[in-house]
Amino acid sequence: MKNPKSLYVSSVRKVMKFRQIRNIVILSLAILLTLAALLVIYVAMMKEKIDEAFPSGSSDSIITESGSVVPETSGTTTTPTETTLSSDTASSEETTAPTGSDSMSETSDGTSDGTSSDTSDTESLLPSEPPPEVDVFINASTLLQTVTHEERDIAYKQLKQDVKKYINEAVGTRIGFYYINLKNNEEFGINDLSPYVVGSSINLPINLILYDTSKSQTLSFREVMAYKEADKTDGSGTIKDRNYGAQYYIRELSRLSITEGDNVATAMLLRRLGGIEAVNEEFMKISGIVDFVKIHKYTDYSGTELSGSYRSGVQDLARYAEALYYRYMVYPEDYQLLINDLAHTTSDWGVAAQFPEGTQVFHKTGSNVKYNSETDVALIICEEPIVICISVEAATSEQAKEIQSALGKLVQAYISYCYI
């Protein structure tokens, strides 16, 4: 007969083993349920982030400038108050946008998307994807200067004399010139403290501030903006021909602003950045010789006394290009797209027209027919990285462009001489 005590111990062990297995099963199920709940929460959070970063193409909603989704409106809505960048005639100060080919308009933020002449096809208002990016990288020069420092000093003094002589002898013109050498800090200017109507050359610093804002992560190039009636402005560009409510990614607005000088695209970017007054405050942190929003009095190329705001100076524009260069050198991934656009502008004229083939040119030109003004601000990568900005007022745009080319050639000859 078996020992009763042994039977008792065996029974207890079986019960304990059963309870252990049961507890392990329960604990495993609890862990699995917890993991499943965490997975569901994680997927929901990721979906929300993906929806914010990559908005859907739904026709019944749009993404506002702040990145939130609001219902798409149709029909007549309230138009936000419009504030235009003023441009002035010879006799008085005006508050309307200039009628030249590169006028700009600042608009205030509002909730209206404007009205469309045909809202039956809302699909046509949805944003199109920007074209594929083709990165253009700034070349690093490995060339060594062949002349002595004394010979270069003499040539540099001669360059300054030649530029000054050329400008002084250009009758019936008003010319502003500024040169910066980004390798050895050479720089000088002629009439670089004077105000000029620079057309869409001002789009370069506006977009520089846009990219600064993106770098600080307070703006995304995947945000979508709707074209509003208050954004409409005369001059160059294709957006002005679209129906109100047409939507654009900020990346596409920036590309159009730089490559084509689209005035409406620039006005929409200004609206997103808080208006020209806010953007001008950022300008002043980089260079504020000619305050863009201040009223300036000056004499134009024809001897006419003018007074007006929304002018810039050649040294200011050169400083903005210089700032972009150094930002790109330190943070290339944050400013690569702007460099790409500046390399593919539609303008084939400017200060680098006579530089040899193969020279990298990143520039933004600006024209204003009303004020007979032509401007070009260019980052040029030749034997050395340099910036040249030239604004010219002349009787014809052809004459102004010839002057820009000739002055650019003087700088090119000087740089080339140092590397013979």
Burial class from Cβ neighbours inside 10 Å (0-12, 13-18, 19+) for residue 108 reads: middle
Domain boundaries, position 278: 133-220+274-417
φ/ψ of 412, rounded to 5, equals -60, -40
Among 312, 325, 246, 287, residue whose Cα is nearest residue 104? 312
* Element holding 305 (H helix, E strand): strand 305-308
Specify if 244 maps to a domain: no
Specify if 76 maps to a domain: no
Burial class from Cβ neighbours inside 10 Å (0-12, 13-18, 19+) for residue 403 reads: buried
Specify if 182 maps to a domain: yes
Specify if 61 maps to a domain: no
**Which residue, 53, 69, 91, sits at the end of a domain?**
53
Buried b (16+ CB within 10 A) or exposed e, 196-225: bbbbbbbbbbbbbbbbbbbeeeebbbebbb
**Distance between CA atoms of 109 and 220, rounded to whole angstroms?**
17
Specify if 392 maps to a domain: yes
**Which residue, 36, 53, 70, sits at the end of a domain?**
53
Kindly state whether residues 170 and 281 are assigned to the same domain: yes
Number of domains in the chain: 2
Kindly state whether residues 144 and 18 are assigned to the same domain: no
DSSP sequence for 332-385: HHHHHHHHHHHTT-S---STTTTSPTT-EEEEEEEEETTTTEEEEEEEEESSSE
Which residues make beta-bridge pairs with 364? 377
Specify if 81 maps to a domain: no
Specify if 380 maps to a domain: yes
Specify if 67 maps to a domain: no
Q: From first to last of its 420 residues, what are the pLDDT tens digits of the chain?
A: 555 555 555 666 776 777 788 888 888 888 888 888 787 777 667 666 555 554 443 333 343 443 433 333 333 333 333 333 533 434 334 333 433 344 443 333 433 344 444 444 566 899 999 999 999 999 998 899 999 999 999 999 999 999 999 999 999 999 999 999 999 999 999 999 999 999 999 999 999 999 999 999 999 999 999 999 999 988 889 999 999 999 999 999 999 999 999 999 999 999 999 999 999 999 999 999 999 999 999 999 999 999 999 999 999 999 999 999 999 999 999 999 999 999 999 999 999 999 999 999 999 999 999 999 999 999 999 999 999 999 999 999 999 999 999 999 999 999 999 998
Q: What is the pTM of this model?
A: 0.75
Kindly state whether residues 149 and 280 are assigned to the same domain: yes
Measured CA to CA in angstroms, residue 45 lies from 48, 130, 223, 224 at distances of 5, 27, 19, 22
The confidence score (pLDDT) of residue 123 equals 62
**Which residue, 9, 28, 53, sits at the end of a domain?**
53
Kindly state whether residues 296 and 173 are assigned to the same domain: yes
Kindly state whether residues 166 and 281 are assigned to the same domain: yes
CATH of the domain at 192: 3.40.710.10
Kindly state whether residues 297 and 394 are assigned to the same domain: yes
Kindly state whether residues 280 and 161 are assigned to the same domain: yes
